[in-house]
Amino acid sequence: MVVWDKVNREHVIQAIREYDHLGPEAFFSRHGFAPTTTYDLIWERRPYPPKAILGTAYELATAQRLASADFEGGKSGAVKVLGNLGFTVQPRKRTT
């Protein structure tokens, strides 16, 4: 089980900035994650993949890389951790 106590808001914001700088494909390739399918992390009115951002924030905080399979992304995982850090995470809007 992953312990998130070393990850703070600044680590998450730093991961978001890296995502913006690299773009989605390079970010996912560098950190080993994939696009989100269920939830969006909303920051400055833009959507981000919560699990990928949190996993990268963990790597920034601890210098240890997590694989996507190492932690949950849903309500009891990344969504909850990010919410506890004061971020807004919401279900993805379906486009039909």
What's CA 38's distance to the chain center, in Å? 12
pLDDT at 93: 78
Q: What is the mean pLDDT of each run of 10 residues along the chain (96 residues)?
A: 94 98 96 93 96 97 94 91 97 74
| Whole-structure pTM value | 0.93
* Cα–Cα distance for residue pair 28/45, rounded to 1 Å: 21
Q: pLDDT at position 96, please? A: 55
- Cα dihedral 35, 26, 84, 59 sign: positive
